[in-house]
Amino acid sequence: MDLPGELAVRNVFHILFSGIAFLAAFAVPWSADAQDLVVTRNVTVRANPLSTSPRLHFPAIGERLVLLDDGRQERGYYHVRLGDGRVGWVYRTYVKRADEFALESADTAPSGPDQVKVHYIDVDQGNATLVEFPCAAILIDAGGRDPVATGLLTRYLDSFFARRTDLQRRLAAVYVTHTHVDHNTALGALVYNYKIGAYIDNGRLFGSGSKDAVWMAAYIRDVTPAMPRAAVLERDVRASGGQGLAGPVIDPVACPGVDPQIRVLTGGRERSDNSQWSKDDYDNGNNHSVVIRIDYGKASFLFPGDLENAGIADALTRYAETGLLDTDVVEVSHHGADNGTTAPFLAAISPDIAVISMGPEGVRQDWSAYQYGHPRIASVRLLRDAVHLSRPAKHVRVANAMRSFETMRMDKAVFGTGWDGTVIVTADAQGRFAVKTEH
């Protein structure tokens, strides 16, 4: 279902978890046998279930392996048969069962009432992501570099609520990942134009860009004290026991049928939390980003704010072995900057689809993607190599430095609001996905 009005999504690209659509992109033959495995990341097939055993084969992404022993694992490895008849072992996190690729064609894209739609809204250089559930909606970040961006966001929300009249112009929660203007500058417009059920931030009401967050905290205290607010600090997340922080304020959405799960994986730091960080790392508000994970049945989404290298390293230390970073769709950290994407981070996320929220190269003003050089070519190359699915090929503009761009061909499922306009990712509880772009 498309949004009405000037921001209507015009082009439809289906990015499908399907044997036919997914594997066709890699020119690999397919049979719909649930005992098959599909290679989703670069991996080595070994002679025995040990990382030190001899290498037998280096399968291509999308290659099919026949699953043996009824799917039983040994030391985390599956026993498989290769296309040439040889038998070996492949580690479980590098493959998916064929029955997880349930869609058979673009005609069977996610449909019906039990869906989540994630709207990565084009607000020029900034972040604003609307997550639409069957029974509610939330907003993650409310930013942009100037009042024009605020207008883009409110017009989009107005069109959305005109379609979803059942929500009565209410956002169940607004989350601000960190206190920078490109993530929180529209807070005033939100509270005056829409109903807000709860507000979640990182508890850091100081530093560059905190003006709007300070205003919001004062507004809640003095005008709407009944509005729940969660100021999530790192100590709160650590006290949650390594499974992320949830609760009725952080996760206020409870839909019948499929109940979304919303949790926070990192919070604002205090100096004592990170004695190993340099002063520059600690003073950098990006490293204090609230990282949010949303699960909707088998579909999962990650929103890391503007987390940079120091914050990424901490997140990996805590969660890389737990699987909590492993998600189907990731909003790329820090608008695709070269300090917000690392190979280990992407390996832990193992994304099928990535979306970059950034401005277009053509805006040559202050605080723009052009000025910052977003997204950087190094990050985009990492993303292109990491995501598992494909997209219709197009040529996109990526930065090789501040104020310097070049053209890259993109045929993997890496989307950007600066290239594609607003991007809408739809998923159902079975983990089937479709993507629509504005242009």
What is the DSSP code string of 308-342? Answer: -HHHHHHHHHHHTTTTTT--SEEEPGGGG-TTS--
Q: Which pLDDT score is estimated for 274?
A: 63
Q: Distance (Å, rounded) from C-alpha 290 to C-alpha 180?
A: 12
- State how beta strands 199-201 and 173-175 pair: parallel
The type of residue at 149 is A
Q: Distance (Å, rounded) from C-alpha 329 to C-alpha 306?
A: 16
Domain 34-100 coded CATH 2.60.260.40 = no
| Residue 256: CA count within 13 A, CB half-sphere | 1
Does the pTM exceed 0.75? yes
Q: Which pLDDT score is estimated for 11?
A: 44
Q: Which fold has domain 112-437?
A: Metallo-beta-lactamase; Chain A (3.60.15)
Q: Distance (Å, rounded) from C-alpha 363 to C-alpha 372?
A: 11
Residue with tokens 């242009």: 439
How many CB atoms within 10 Å of residue 141?
A: 31
Q: Phi-psi bin for 85: left (phi > 0), alpha (psi -120 to 50), beta?
A: left
Contact 201, 289 (CB under 8 A): no
DSSP, collapsed to helix, strand or coil, labels residue 196 as strand
How many CB atoms within 10 Å of residue 165?
A: 8
- Residues paired with residue 330 on neighbouring β-strands, in sequence order: 302, 354
Q: Distance (Å, rounded) from C-alpha 128 to C-alpha 22?
A: 29
Query: Which segments of 246-366 are extended strands (E)?
Result: 261-266, 291-296, 299-303, 329-331, 353-356
pLDDT, block means (10 residues), the chain with 439 residues: 36 40 29 62 90 91 85 88 93 72 43 88 97 98 91 96 97 96 95 98 86 94 96 93 94 96 95 80 94 97 97 93 94 97 96 96 92 98 94 94 96 96 95 91
Q: Distance (Å, rounded) from C-alpha 240 to C-alpha 432?
A: 30
DSSP, collapsed to helix, strand or coil, labels residue 67 as strand
What are the residue boundaries of the structural domains of the chain, listed by start?
A: 34-100, 112-437
Q: Write out the H or E segment, with its range, that includes residue 415.
A: strand 414-416
Q: Write out the H or E segment, with its range, that includes residue 116.
A: strand 115-120
